[in-house]
Amino acid sequence: MGFVEKPITINDVTLNSFEEFCDYVLKRQISIEESYQRTLKNLQVFEEKYGMTSDQFAKTIMGTPAEDEPDFLEWGMEYDTYLELKEELEEK
């Protein structure tokens, strides 16, 4: 039996094929620069909430049991994303 595509609906848009889905996703992608700026804003929210820089957070919280707290898990993921995007932008 072959693969049968089923329509999916995302935000009131029905996509009837894998190709339509790919087009939908590609049209909504943001640039690395935009993603970097969003990540910086997200980090700033955590920094203001907890009164420390993300670098301080990485040195004192990441890798400890405290890292398992929901806010800290999210902060850690944002920080990792920041480092990856920063490196990617520096390579340009």
Pair 24, 13: CB distance under 8 Å? yes
* Residue whose pair of structure tokens reads 């955590």 in the numeric block: 46
Long-range contacts formed by 46-54: CB under 8 A, 24+ apart? 46/71, 46/74, 46/75, 46/78, 50/75, 54/78, 54/79, 54/82
pLDDT at 55: 96
Q: Round to whole Å and give the CA distance between 77 and 50.
A: 16
pTM summary value:
0.73
pLDDT at 73: 96
Pair 14, 8: CB distance under 8 Å? yes
Q: How many CB atoms lie within 10 A of CB 21?
A: 15
pLDDT in tens, the chain (92 residues): 455 578 888 888 888 888 888 888 888 889 999 999 999 999 999 999 999 999 999 999 999 999 999 999 999 999 999 999 999 999 97
Residue 10 backbone phi and psi in degrees, to 5: -130, 120
pLDDT at 3: 57
